[in-house]
Amino acid sequence: MNKTIEQIRAEEKDWEANEVAQFLKKQAERKKEFFTLGDIPVKRTYTAADLENTPVEDIGLPGRYPFTRGPYPTMYRSRPWTMRQIAGFGTGEDTNVRFKFLIAQGQTGISTDFDMPTLMGYDSDHPMSEGEVGREGVAIDTLADMEALLDGIDLEKISVSLTINPTAWILLAMYIVLAEKRGYDLNKLSGTVQADILKEYMAQKEYIYPVAPSVRIVRDIITHCAKTMKRYNPINISGYHISEAGSSPLHEAAFTLANLIAYVEEVTKTGMHVDEFAPRLAFFFVCQADFFEEIAKFRALRRCYAKIMKERFGAKNPESMRLRFHCQTAAASLTKPQYMINVVRTGMQALAAVLGGCQSLHTNGYDEAFAIPTEDAMRMALRTQQIIAEETNVTQVIDPLGGSYFVESLTTEYENRIFEIIKEIDERGGAIKLMEEGWFQKHIADFAYETALRKQSGEKPVIGVNRFVDGTPDPEIHTHPYDKTTAERQIARTKRVRAGQDPKVMAALLEKLKAVAKDESQNIMPVTIELVRAGATMGDLVETLRTIWGTYRETPVY
């Protein structure tokens, strides 16, 4: 028997008037209204009537448009997500030891964290690098460093993610030269370079040049890879940092797709058809604490992406419409007090990421509210993923929450709200313009401030901080030590490489780099690859281009 929507609604009303009302007389609910972490109101319960605005074809099937239920038809039944713990500290050799440890523990992908000087384009011996060399990530100045980093790791068997943005194009060039030297077929090499500069201006604030030349570099990375590295992800369009900078999950999702639209517009302006590069666009999102909201967010993101690529950009190839994403649990949710409970938080978030259908996952270490993680914290984090993958059986059925009245309704709600925000961004002149006006930054700052006030008032419970505060001291924690010889060791190699440069060759190549930079119709990658091969340091390239493009400084909003 099929009840009509009206009948279901009538029944719900009747239930509210009888069972619910009677129960409320005996005991009130904990709050008058309930909201998700992202401030979306939620009902007492959901019924089939709440799916009225969700057409069955929008739910669909895994691996089929609009990909709400997953990008692939078999998902984790074929292969679990890639377990990709990010790592990076000290020199290339130091991080190489951590990579090999993680691989030995069962990790299936590599992700590289770079130190601040590398991220910002300073060589290790630049005055701005003092105290920062190899501290929060690995220091890479030259090809020699990259060779040490990836020594003994088979790049055809394990994919490497380079988590880097303003200097991404130089790191990618190093990776390409290293692969050529080892004799790999570039078209067989998988991996990812983050290279998402727009979210840097928005949130993470790692940038060198003004917006226009920076976006042009990203365009060059995407078109170069589309032609020469068919399996490589040339960009990882990221919401993670938007969220960590303080945004709501909804804004994380909508702003990331606004950036996607800006990139696709830039690349298609070169005459490249969307189907030539879109299949390799990759994404990166956070998984925060609100379990069902995050799952709905991931499902809505897949659906929105599919519709944007098909309807807005005219993609024909289904691979251009399926959103694939890396996920990381929320570092900002970790606490110093009672730090071991971070394992539980991370486990819950990781489970939501898996139920949301992520393609790869990083679980945070329990010690990351203190410093970068130790081996022990990373092993625990990796084991958390392995338990989900191998003990819980959640990998057997694809999108097990598909069809849930609540999750489907929230997915559609997210979709509608995301498209409303994108419409507003379009009407206001697009992502790049709004970025320069600080529009996104203001939204992010507002929600960050709200969150701080809610934590203070207890409206947002944080166990160990504003709930269940325990006076007993936590067990002593051993944080990751910083090896004081790092800078010395690193700078010695950079100087050695620099001494080996042929000044004439370098001068000619740097002139060529300038000429290419000034001519927007050219691609910056080939000359960068030549420079890296000739032993150029990252600073050589960055400083040369600074003379043409200048340095970006933001006007902060708060």
Partner 1 sequence: MTQPIRVLLAKVGLDGHDRGVRVVARTLRDAGMDVIYTGLHRTPEEVVNAAIQEDVDILGVSLLSGVQMTVFPKIFKLLAEKGVDDLIIVAGGVMPDEDVAELKKMGVAEVMLQDTPPDAIVKSLTALVTARGPR
Q: Transcribe 395-456 into DSSP letters.
A: TSSSSTTTT-HHHHHHHHHHHHHHHHHHHHHHHTT-HHHHHHHTHHHHHHHHHHHHHHHHHH
When asked if residue 341 is in the footprint of partner 1 (CB under 8 A), the reply is: no
Beta carbons within 10 angstroms of residue 271's beta carbon: 8
Give the residue with the Cβ less far from partner 1, 239 or 535.
239
546 binding partner 1? (CB under 8 A): no
42 counts as binding partner 1 under rule CB under 8 A: no
Using rule CB under 8 A, residue 554 touches partner 1? yes
Of 330, 372, 541, 542, the one binding partner 1 (CB under 8 A) is: 372
135 counts as binding partner 1 under rule CB under 8 A = yes
- CB-based contacts of 264, cutoff 8 Å, min separation 6: 274, 278, 281, 309, 313
436 binds partner 1 (CB under 8 A): no
Q: Segment contacting partner 1 (CB under 8 A): 20-28, 199-207, 287-295, 494-502? A: 199-207
Determine if 131 is a binding residue for partner 1 (CB under 8 A): yes
* Residue 200 interacts with partner 1 (CB under 8 A): yes or no: yes
> Which residues, 6+ apart, have CB-to-CB distance to 234 below 8 Å?
172, 193, 195, 221, 222, 224, 225, 226, 277, 280
Contact between 34 and partner 1 by CB under 8 A: the answer reads no
Residue 449 binds partner 1 (CB under 8 A):
yes
- The length of the chain in residues reads 558
Is residue 113 involved in binding partner 1 (CB under 8 A)?
Answer: no
Helix (H) or strand (E) holding 228: helix 211-228
* Positions in 452-481 near partner 1 (CB under 8 A): 452-453, 455-456, 462, 465, 479
Cβ atoms of 191 and 160 closer than 8 Å: yes
**146 with 140: CB under 8 angstroms?**
yes
507 lines the binding site for partner 1 (CB under 8 A):
no
Give the E-state strand segments of 16-73 in sequence order: 34-35, 41-42
Neighbouring C-alpha atoms within 13 Å toward the C-beta of 433: 7
**Which tokens in the block code for residue 152?**
């003994």
Structural tokens at position 411: 């997915």
Which structure tokens are listed for 229?
Answer: 């590295």
Q: What are the φ/ψ torsions at residue 362 (nearest 5 degrees)?
A: -115, 125
Compute how many residues bind partner 1; rule: CB under 8 A: 44
Q: Is 117 in the site for partner 1 (CB under 8 A)?
A: yes
Span of 33-41, 198-206, 226-234, 270-278 interacting with partner 1 by CB under 8 A: 198-206
Helices 211-228 and 168-181: crossing angle in degrees, nearest 10, is: 20
Binding segment (CB under 8 A) for partner 1, from list 129-137, 171-179, 184-192, 272-280: 129-137
Least distance (Å) between residue 103 CB and partner 1: 26
Question: Among the residues of 16-106, which ranges form H helices?
Answer: 21-26, 56-59, 92-104
430 touches 318 (CB < 8 A): no
Q: How far is the CB of 435 from partner 1 (least distance, A)?
A: 15
Residues in contact with partner 1, shown as a per-residue x/- string from 394 to 433 under the rule CB under 8 A: ----------------------------------------
Q: Pick out residues in 313-332 that bind partner 1 (CB under 8 A).
A: 332
Nearer to partner 1, 150 or 208 (CB): 208
Q: Which of 85, 124, 204, 346 contacts partner 1 by CB under 8 A?
A: 204
Q: Examine residue 103 and tell whether it contacts partner 1 (CB under 8 A).
A: no
Shortest gap between Cβ of 483 and partner 1 (angstroms)?
13
Q: Assess 122 for contact with partner 1 (CB under 8 A).
A: yes
Tokens 């639209």 belong to 261
What Rg do the C-alpha atoms of the chain give, in angstroms?
Answer: 24
d(CA 403, CA 400): 8
* Binds partner 1 by CB under 8 A, chosen from 5, 21, 128, 508: 128
d(CA 134, CA 137) in angstroms, rounded, equals 5
Cα–Cα distance, 7 to 9 (Å, whole number): 5
Q: Does 438 bind partner 1 (CB under 8 A)?
A: no
> Closest CB to partner 1 among 141 and 206?
206
Exactly one of 58, 132, 220, 415 binds partner 1 (CB under 8 A); that residue is: 132
206 is a contact residue toward partner 1 (CB under 8 A): yes
Contacting partner 1 (CB under 8 A), which of 235, 245, 418, 431?
245
**Closest approach of Cβ 246 to partner 1, in Å?**
5
Beta-strand pair 191-193/325-329: unpaired
**Which residue, 117 or 356, is less far from partner 1 as judged by CB?**
117
Q: Which residues bind partner 1 (CB under 8 A)?
A: 116-117, 119-120, 122, 128-132, 135-136, 200, 204-206, 244-246, 332, 335-337, 369-372, 445, 448-449, 452-453, 455-456, 462, 465, 479, 482, 553-558
